Amino acid sequence: MSFDALRSPVQFLQQAGIRADQDWLRDYEAWFECEGQGISEAVDRAGTPWLRMFDRFGARVDEILYPPEYWRMLKNGYRAGVLWRVFERNFERNSERNSEGNSAQNSLIPAYLLLYATGFYDPGLACPYTVSLSTVCPLSKYGDAELKARFLPRMLQRNDNDNDDESVWQGATWMTEIKGGSDLGTAVETIAQQDGNKWRLTGDKYFASNAGAELAVVAARQEGAPQNVRGLSLYLVPRHREGGKLNYQIRRLKDKIATRSVPTGEIELRHSEGWLLGQAEQGIYLILEVLNLSRVANSVGSVALAQRAIADAYSYAERRTAFGKPVIEHPLLRRQFEDRLQGLRAALGLAWEAVRLLDNVWQEKPPYSESYHLFRLVAHLAKYWTAEFAVQTAKWAMEVYGGVGTLQENRVERWLREAMILAIWEGTSHRQMLDGLEVMQRKNAHRLLFQHLAGKAPEAQLREMEARVERQLGLPEADKEATLEKLFSGLASFTADTLLGKPGDKE
Amino acid sequence: MSFDALRSPVQFLQQAGIRADQDWLRDYEAWFECEGQGISEAVDRAGTPWLRMFDRFGARVDEILYPPEYWRMLKNGYRAGVLWRVFERNFERNSERNSEGNSAQNSLIPAYLLLYATGFYDPGLACPYTVSLSTVCPLSKYGDAELKARFLPRMLQRNDNDNDDESVWQGATWMTEIKGGSDLGTAVETIAQQDGNKWRLTGDKYFASNAGAELAVVAARQEGAPQNVRGLSLYLVPRHREGGKLNYQIRRLKDKIATRSVPTGEIELRHSEGWLLGQAEQGIYLILEVLNLSRVANSVGSVALAQRAIADAYSYAERRTAFGKPVIEHPLLRRQFEDRLQGLRAALGLAWEAVRLLDNVWQEKPPYSESYHLFRLVAHLAKYWTAEFAVQTAKWAMEVYGGVGTLQENRVERWLREAMILAIWEGTSHRQMLDGLEVMQRKNAHRLLFQHLAGKAPEAQLREMEARVERQLGLPEADKEATLEKLFSGLASFTADTLLGKPGDKE
Amino acid sequence: MSFDALRSPVQFLQQAGIRADQDWLRDYEAWFECEGQGISEAVDRAGTPWLRMFDRFGARVDEILYPPEYWRMLKNGYRAGVLWRVFERNFERNSERNSEGNSAQNSLIPAYLLLYATGFYDPGLACPYTVSLSTVCPLSKYGDAELKARFLPRMLQRNDNDNDDESVWQGATWMTEIKGGSDLGTAVETIAQQDGNKWRLTGDKYFASNAGAELAVVAARQEGAPQNVRGLSLYLVPRHREGGKLNYQIRRLKDKIATRSVPTGEIELRHSEGWLLGQAEQGIYLILEVLNLSRVANSVGSVALAQRAIADAYSYAERRTAFGKPVIEHPLLRRQFEDRLQGLRAALGLAWEAVRLLDNVWQEKPPYSESYHLFRLVAHLAKYWTAEFAVQTAKWAMEVYGGVGTLQENRVERWLREAMILAIWEGTSHRQMLDGLEVMQRKNAHRLLFQHLAGKAPEAQLREMEARVERQLGLPEADKEATLEKLFSGLASFTADTLLGKPGDKE
Amino acid sequence: MSFDALRSPVQFLQQAGIRADQDWLRDYEAWFECEGQGISEAVDRAGTPWLRMFDRFGARVDEILYPPEYWRMLKNGYRAGVLWRVFERNFERNSERNSEGNSAQNSLIPAYLLLYATGFYDPGLACPYTVSLSTVCPLSKYGDAELKARFLPRMLQRNDNDNDDESVWQGATWMTEIKGGSDLGTAVETIAQQDGNKWRLTGDKYFASNAGAELAVVAARQEGAPQNVRGLSLYLVPRHREGGKLNYQIRRLKDKIATRSVPTGEIELRHSEGWLLGQAEQGIYLILEVLNLSRVANSVGSVALAQRAIADAYSYAERRTAFGKPVIEHPLLRRQFEDRLQGLRAALGLAWEAVRLLDNVWQEKPPYSESYHLFRLVAHLAKYWTAEFAVQTAKWAMEVYGGVGTLQENRVERWLREAMILAIWEGTSHRQMLDGLEVMQRKNAHRLLFQHLAGKAPEAQLREMEARVERQLGLPEADKEATLEKLFSGLASFTADTLLGKPGDKE
């Protein structure tokens, strides 16, 4: 097994049977190798960017002060097409997914290819792209003609120019408030009041990624709506009001341990203009659709990060010598590399399956098909499994470096910081397990999964795994949750190995 | 099972059957609760301290500029007795280890009790204490009367005074050079040349903990000595030459991800004065004896850190609510807490067994007894197992916090940074496994271990585990190493559970 | 002329004929020499402190995270009596100002002595003391019995305890808003609405020194009050509401170039509870009385800083050699030192005259006596002159150091940063000149000044200077201001030299 | 008088009668307006760059880690021609200095034009260009054919490419050691030992600007040479030895208060390869020739900085309002602006006279002409006067901003930090005065100056000023120096005003 492909996201995707030899993708990778990488390191080193709240004359401006090259790096992805390629109808899906032959449709695949490549070089940078995607998708699905005419072209334009007012608008997805992200039904206290055909939103968003975005989708509760998850609805909120004033304020940027290439802030909405997306009663579905996109992006990014960590560790182990030979030639370490690579391929298989399933269902609206429920289970398994793999891999890569791995200057510690954020964002492992449990209980998604895997593993293994799941579902409520971890982890591992064609390979 | 004891290192040790109710230990803990904790956080927040190389008149001074309160915190541990209590003959060992009855001897126990308490509050701060201990021990064992008369009183004095030239001297242990720490036989390039009854050392130490210490033990190679591990010898090197000049220079302090309360630097030895400890030919044994002390300290610190991380996570989970109740009441999370606590107790058992065994053998000189070899195996198992436990626990604690866990302001991310250093210092997992393998192969230490555990686990389990080990030892060389991880991890887990009285409890 | 006294603020004050040999003052100085100095440097090095806005459970807390030793340093001044000594009736004024014999009265002298000593060691730290003084004074003058009973004891207590809820309350004076501090009549947009016997304040304070203080005096405009300086009134605003909730929020701390030992922030008042001080219509007078206290403190601090800069430069010049001798022995530099010392003594004389005059009038209420108007002119001259002297002296001290003076590590650059803030706070030179002009025009304060100086300079000189002033006052409006700088600077210099007993000594 | 030209260095130079309308200069300015300015601010905000001493494998590399865009900014100036244009023979000097008609010669004018523009946008960045110029000039004058063939093309190439090994080599001028820069004869302890046709240098350079440069000129003392200024000689020292190894080490970078766009470090020379420039006995002359170039650059940069500070203050004063109108319309402030602008024009006249005189004499070798001595006096006057003007102007600009001027975010405080470095580098005011005195005493340079000024001021004024100088020169030694400041300052001011055509305009 060769480790050479590890150095290139494009090559590794190709080796895994995912088409990734498009020129634009290669160019994107080449740009990072040559320029972007150095910028990304400088941004990580510089730490949390600085928020200019007021100009020197006392006018509130809320500008985020990155070094100029940050913006160059950021815009490069939009230019490469992380948004516009999704809506480019003539994208040749055939060559990508010829088994299905549904050419000439919008496809998320180009976006996730770019996100994978981005995640390899800068895991945090994948975030602005993802939340922009998660803004443009609901806008295109649920926005009325006027909204789309007004905002879509700004987000989808191709020829961004650095010094131009015509630059791409970024999106953002602001759901979480100070009470936390898992129990949204209770935690969202932002209120929406009708104001003609607009709405006025008032509330505080506590973890607002891509603070400063030109357009955000925001969860809020209409006055009088129930105090639970059914009371939520989704709004489109631009950075500036129609008259040009700031429509929301950034209270501060947060000092995170990583993902310094995305500004995460606290947002104060105060009678901020917004437009309702879809029907108010269906808000929670729209919110979950938004989370689908980012949860899958999180999985893809986790795998990309793990690839990067292994690649870095490998290049180190090739050159570092001990006891007379490169440490890569020591049997214990070599075996660990082989196991990691195997694990990486399984993780990629699982994450990409989530991408493919999502690409089939992302344009559905409620009520959803069975494919949608299958997707949800796979997405939970993938988010859970890949994030865990990324953390453990990053930790291990630091150990391969040994002492120099604990120094900030050697960059490898960055992957662990970044991985920890991936493990927590979009729901921790607890959330994935419990939501995965719910979709199995309420939609029998596990049965859909075993149908989906049929033929890819020996029948007996599939049956045995299915029985394990059914046993778990049959436990008394508290036990069912208390002992869920082993089952969920087993199911994720089984699914990943099966998709890779090696079920039961572990042990 | 109660979690309350988690909030106090003293109480948790007591619950685990380790005597820790001495007044001085309670006072030490109380000081940290009231004062030290705030200082420790401020030091971690401030990042790497600054090295003043020159005074304003251009004289080289190499002072490390911590805030004044750092020094207050540091000296508090010396005052509490992390060094002097070890050499206080009237320490009542009986009450601690009444089965052995060897009262009125020097004992390391007080030192490791203080290190545990320190590690709970500031994992990095345990390092200066440990390396000071690792300096004073070889000095007391191998130094001649003159050296001891000259240096011991400075390190063992009880009444340190902040603003006094009479303050305690710190120690340091500088072995590692730029080529790395695992293959010392090759990597040490520092040369010692005789100069009357002194030696002159020239070379660069790359990872020098407690840079700036008044007295260091330093590994070097005498001119003409073999280019392997047998060619190494150990020297005592003070900060100032006899005339008062600096005896070594600090090239720079290193930007580590954690343990900011110990200054780690690069040391330039240039004809630096040193005194040979013991016989030159036995240098490697002396070096390993030094490492024994710090490896056990690393294990003890890892457990203390894990206790802290669980305690913090618990106090969070008690108060954070979701879905209408504190998250600690959610079955999945509660189960994880119970499992963590169980794991913590096993880890403490293993680490403290290493402490007890070391306390029996630390005064031995080569050739060593079987007890020494048993100790070495247990020390490798403990270092490996506890560091891994600390990392996984710190990671998990961040996940319990969820989003706020990724923010620098909430402190929980610090435990992961600190834990990663514990996993790498004193040898990564690879080193522990391979050195553990060696002591089993060459000294049959595994058999000594199974004798030691006899009666604490069912005979059949002991036999089965022993057979697994023997099978591994019988494999061809490359395979033996390549597949070592599972065996070693299994042996560590088995030993820990057995010592806790719950062998085979897992699964 | 001896430079030795420069090293001690107490000694220098004594030499200048200001009684400063009280034990408590000597103790305060000694504490700084021994402990405070190191803390002050660490705080300056650490930069802007960090504001913890929320605790980990999402509750707004707005705590300012300094290292613990900062608080030790801060509280030391309160303990020494920077507030309570002012209100200690038995302070022996006689020995200080025996010409007046009004013993057994409140006196500001002890406060300004402590401020001088503080300013020598940490110019920024003098700020929290000053604004606390500027809070307690109007409270004691204008507060009703209930307010005084409630708040005064908290601010005046003597035995502050570090870890005690009984710790001293700090004050703050928040006037300035985003539109600036000079034209308060226009710039204050904070509104006060009556609410029973309390008021509710809403607005943003942009430069709020000592953000986080337990009690602030705040300028606001009552609803319907005129949009000019007459519409302002002054309120007492505590940190917590009666129920214990935060009464104001800190939007952020500001990154200033210096005075890092005072947290300056932006304050958001939102229906914040406040109590009116004095009569609403007289608010502007109360505000100006508050500014009197801080303007004089600024003068005293400027002189202390200049003393420090000269002392540091001197200690450097004594030991740095060039061309075979200490640089202090080079004629050009020695002459500069002598001139600086002379200038320092004149600046101290002017600043302390402002202190003495203020001590006579600070308990007056409107309408004011002539003594009050004389004080105001002297205060403007002193603020202008001493700040300019501090800046020029700090700049010169850096040049004495030469190259090493540009390095952050050598501390001398700090004095320039601090001095620049002194030159800007409490009104820039422009403000002092124009306000000084006004008090001359409207109150003939210059005539009061020349009466005051009578006998201290040759009559002819006094007459000539007075004629110059009158000529200026007779110019057409625009010219009068445009050419004011030379006159004002001349008047300040003349006054300072006259008070020193050396009028016309320059040139 | 219009302030509009202040916003553009090119325009302001043109207004002052200095030809600056070349396309390449306009392009250079336009690049800074559009791109460079943002980069410069980001670099200043980021603080001292980080020195990577070792790569992750332990090889010493001594790389300076700036963000990538720093290098883009830096290279832009080399590309614009700050070096190569000086040696481009077909530069049309006629249009620049038609009175002399010596076309087709090398001229420094293009370099100083670019330095002026650079200094307006980033005062620190002018330093690498200056020291590179100060390296290439002695190399071209004193290097033998082989040295020139080897090194000149690397420094003078026109088409630098970012990602190319063909990038321009930078120069550096390392004279100063830890004992200081003024008394070089004593302070230089670096020793040069002959080694074939090369030399080996050993010593430490303490203030080494542009640490990391590919080629440095270094002051050293040959073994056995006298312990005074005559014992110094000048060497060319490349970054890499002939075999590719590092030829010097960077001990650390220094934390300066400003000029963060030039890395200033401490350099360790250890048997470093060097080539002697010129004759050893004439070394001190070569060193002084190097300093001539940078002293004039310092003057030009000081004026550019002052222009910038006034321009920023003006743009602020135009928009900030108080008392109902923009503050620029307040008579006192407006007068200050007018005076500043007048002062700026005089300072530019003096600095540019130094440029013109230098351009006439820079190719001279000892023994020098009278023109050279005249140049030296004017250079001392210009360095002294312009740096003082820059500091006072930057201070004043902060005061114009008022409170917001003390905040790091508003950039204006940067100009004061930068100006303070200009006041100290290349010799403080003391050095300029004493060296100016020497050239008057030993070379009668003042008489040359008055001849030079003849016809530009009324004869009587010239005579009076000359008499003042002669009186000073006639004083006893100690008095002559002690009272020098007033004379020197008067002479500088007189010269500047005369060159501007307004002698005696002040008062």
Can you tell me whether residue B308 is helix, strand or coil?
helix
Could you tell me if A391 and A423 are in contact, meaning their C-beta atoms sit under 8 angstroms apart? yes
Q: Which phi-psi region, left, alpha or beta, contains residue D233 (left: φ > 0; alpha: ψ -120 to 50)?
A: beta
Structure tokens at B164: 């006094």
- C398 and D420 in contact by Cβ < 8 A? yes
Closest Cβ–Cβ partner in A58, A178, A252 for C178 = A58
3-state class (DSSP) for residue A190: coil
| Contact across the interface for D67 and A67, Cβ inside 8 Å | yes
Q: Do the beta carbons of residue A401 and residue A237 sit within 8 Å?
A: no
Q: Calculate mean pLDDT across residues B237-253.
A: 95
Closest residue in C to A206 (Cα–Cα): C58
Question: Using CA atoms, how far apart are residues B438 and B447, in angstroms rounded to an integer?
Answer: 13
Report CB contact under 8 Å: B403, A176. Answer: yes
Query: Are the Cβ atoms of A406 and B183 closer than 8 angstroms?
Result: no
Cα three-residue angle C129-C132-C134, rounded to 5 degrees? 110
Report which of D298, D238, D331 is spatially closest to residue D424, judged by C-alpha positions.
D298
Interface of C with A in 35-54 (CB under 8 A): 53-54
Q: Tell me how far apart the 2 most distant CA atoms of chain C are, in Å.
A: 77
Report which residue type is found at B115: L
D398: contact with A, CB 8 A cutoff: no
Tens of pLDDT, residue by residue over D67-98, are: 999 999 999 999 999 999 999 864 444 444 43
* Structure confidence at residue A329 (pLDDT): 97
Written as six digits, the tokens of D152 are: 């000149």
C319-363 tens-digit pLDDT: 999 999 999 999 999 999 999 999 999 999 999 999 999 999 999
* Helix (H), strand (E) at residue A271: strand A264-277
Q: Which residue of B has its CA nearest to A320?
A: B179
Among the residue ranges A161-175, B10-24, B399-413, the one predicted with the least confidence is: A161-175
Nearest to C53 among A58, A179, A252 (CB): A252
Rounded to 5, what percent of chain D is helix, strand, coil? 60, 15, 25
Q: What are the structure tokens assigned to C7, written together?
A: 């090293």
Find which of B178, B186, B189, B206 to mutate to test the D interface (most D CBs within 10 Å of its CB).
B178
Using a CB-CB cut-off of 8 Å, the residues of chain B touching C34 are 163
Give every CB contact of residue B23 below 8 A, 6+ residues apart in sequence: none
Q: Which of D35, D65, D409 sits opposite A68 (nearest CB)?
A: D35
Residue D240 main-chain phi, psi, to 5 deg:
-115, 145
Q: What's the whole-number average pLDDT of chain B?
A: 93
Judge: A54–C178 Cβ closer than 8 Å, yes or no.
Answer: yes
**Average predicted confidence (pLDDT) for chain C:** 93
Kind of pairing, strands A171-174 and A215-222? parallel
Residues present in chain B in total? 507
Which pLDDT band holds residue B98 (cuts at 50, 70, 90)? Answer: very low
Is-cis flag, bond preceding B367, omega within 30?
yes
Q: Report helix angle B445-453 to B459-473, nearest 10.
A: 170
Asked if C69 and B65 come within 8 Å (Cβ–Cβ), the reply is: no
Closest CA relative to residue C473, chosen from C501, C436, C498:
C436
Residues of B within 8 A of D58 (CB-CB) are 178-180, 206
Residue range D270-326, pLDDT digits in tens: 999 999 999 999 999 999 999 999 999 999 999 999 999 999 999 999 999 999 999
pLDDT per position as a tens digit, A427-442: 999 999 999 999 999 9
pLDDT at position D51 over 50:
yes
Compare CB distances from A413 to B257, B395, B405 and report the shortest one's residue: B257
How far apart are the C-alpha atoms of C456 and C346, rounded to whole Å? 14
Beta bridge partners of A216: A172, A237
CA atoms within 13 Å, Cβ hemisphere of A349: 22
Structural contact between residues A91 and A85, judged by C-beta atoms closer than 8 angstroms: yes
In Å, the largest CA–CA distance within chain B is 77
Indicate the DSSP class of residue B221: E
Q: CA D430 to CA D442: how far, in whole Å?
A: 18
In whole angstroms, what is the distance from residue B39 CA to residue B68 CA? 10
| Res C402 pLDDT > 70 | yes
Using alpha carbons, select from C166, C235, C243 the residue that is nearest to residue C205.
C235
What distance in Å separates residue A216's CA from the closest CA in chain B? 20
User: Taking residues D342-352, what's their average pLDDT?
Assistant: 98
Q: What is the pLDDT of residue C90?
A: 43
Tokens for C56, please give them: 């980990």
Q: Residue A205: phi, psi to the nearest 5?
A: -105, 125
How far, in Å, CA of B11 to CA of B346, rounded? 16
At which residue do the structure tokens 């030696």 appear?
B199
Mean pLDDT of C115-128: 97
Cα separations (Å) of B39 from A237, B34, B261, C341, D170?
A: 44, 10, 10, 41, 46
Question: For residue B305, what pLDDT is reported?
Answer: 98
CB contact under 8 A, B39 and C68: yes
Of C47-51, C113-117, D470-474, minimum mean pLDDT range: C47-51
In 3D space, the residue among D163, B210, B17, B59 whose CA is nearest the CA of residue A38 turns out to be D163
pTM: 0.94
Contact assignment for D423 to C399 by CB distance below 8 Å: yes
Residue with tokens 């005195």: D437
Sole residue written with tokens 């800083």? C305
Rounded distance between C-alpha atoms, residue A5 and residue A3, angstroms: 6
Which of D53, D54, D178 is closest, CB to CB, to B54?
D178
Angle at B471 between CA B466 and CA B472, to 5 degrees: 100
Closest-CA distance, C58 to chain B, in angstroms, reads 9
- Peptide bond just before C367 cis, omega within 30 deg: yes
| pLDDT per residue as tens digits for the range C413-463 | 999 999 999 999 999 999 999 999 999 999 999 999 999 999 999 999 999
Q: With an 8 Å Cβ cutoff, are D69 and A65 in contact?
A: no
Task: Give the pLDDT confidence score for residue A92 in this predicted structure.
Answer: 44
- Tally of CB atoms within 10 A around B440: 25
Q: Measure in Å the smallest separation between the Cα of C425 and chain D Cα atoms.
A: 7
Chain C residues closer than 8 Å to D478 by CB: 331
| Res D165: pLDDT | 57
Cβ B469 vs Cβ B488: under 8 Å: no
Q: Which of B56, B57, B316 has its CB closest to that of C56?
A: B316
Structure-token match 């585990």, residue found: B465
Using alpha carbons, select from B312, B280, B389 the residue that is nearest to residue B344: B389
Touching chains, A (3+ CB pairs < 8 A): B, C, D
Where residue D354 falls (left for φ over 0; alpha for ψ -120 to 50; beta otherwise) is: alpha
pLDDT attached to residue B468: 98
Q: Does D261 touch chain C (CB under 8 A)?
A: no
Q: Cβ separation of A252 and C179 shorter than 8 Å?
A: no
Residue-level pLDDT at B78: 96
Question: What is the mean predicted confidence (pLDDT) over C7-23?
Answer: 97
Counting one residue from chain C and one from chain D, the pairs whose CB atoms sit within 8 A come to 145
C179 interfaces chain A, CB cutoff of 8 Å: yes
In this complex, is the C-beta atom of B236 within 8 Å of any C-beta atom belonging to chain A? no
Task: Write the secondary structure of D428-461 as one string of H (helix), E (strand) and C (coil).
Answer: CHHHHHHHHHHHHHHHCHHHHHHHHHECCECHHH
- State percent of chain C over pLDDT 70: 94
Please state the φ and ψ torsions of residue C195, each to the nearest 5 degrees. Answer: -150, 85
Cβ contact, residue pair C182, D258, below 8 Å: no
**Cβ neighbours, 10 Å, residue D367:** 7
CA A430 to chain centre: 17
- Calculate mean pLDDT across residues B235-259: 94
pLDDT per residue over B19-36, tens digit each? 999 999 999 999 999 999
Beta strands in A342-398 (DSSP E): none
Q: From chain B, pick out residues whose CB is under 8 angstroms from the CB of A258.
A: 406
Q: Give me the residue label for tokens 């990691």.
A: A340
Q: Give the other-Cβ count within 10 Å of D256's Cβ.
A: 23
* CA A463 centroid distance within chain: 32
Interface test with C, best of A178, A202, A207, A253 (most C CBs within 10 A): A178
Q: Is B183 on the interface with D (CB under 8 A)?
A: no
> Which 51-70 residues of chain D touch chain A by CB within 8 A?
52, 56-58, 65-69
* One pLDDT digit (tens) per residue for chain A, 507 residues: 578 899 999 999 999 999 999 999 999 999 999 999 999 999 888 877 889 999 989 899 999 989 999 999 999 999 999 999 999 864 444 444 434 444 447 999 999 999 999 999 999 999 999 999 999 999 999 999 999 999 999 999 887 655 555 689 999 999 999 988 889 999 999 999 999 999 999 999 999 999 999 999 999 999 999 999 999 999 999 999 989 999 999 999 998 888 988 999 999 999 999 999 999 999 999 999 999 999 999 999 999 999 999 999 999 999 999 999 999 999 999 999 999 999 999 999 999 999 999 999 999 999 999 999 999 999 999 999 999 999 999 999 999 999 999 998 888 999 999 999 999 999 999 999 999 999 999 999 999 999 999 999 999 999 999 999 999 999 999 999 999 999 999 999 999 999 999 876 554
Question: A302 or D507: whose pLDDT is higher?
Answer: A302
- Per-residue pLDDT for B96 more than 50? no
Say whether pLDDT at D162 is over 70. no
Burial class (CB in 10 A: 0-12, 13-18, 19+), C226: exposed
Chain B closest-CA separation from residue D407 CA (Å): 21
Q: Cβ contact (<8 Å) for A68 and D65?
A: no
> How much is the pLDDT for D50?
86
Give tens-digit pLDDT for B416-454. Answer: 999 999 999 999 999 999 999 999 999 999 999 999 999
**Cβ neighbours, 10 Å, residue C459:** 9
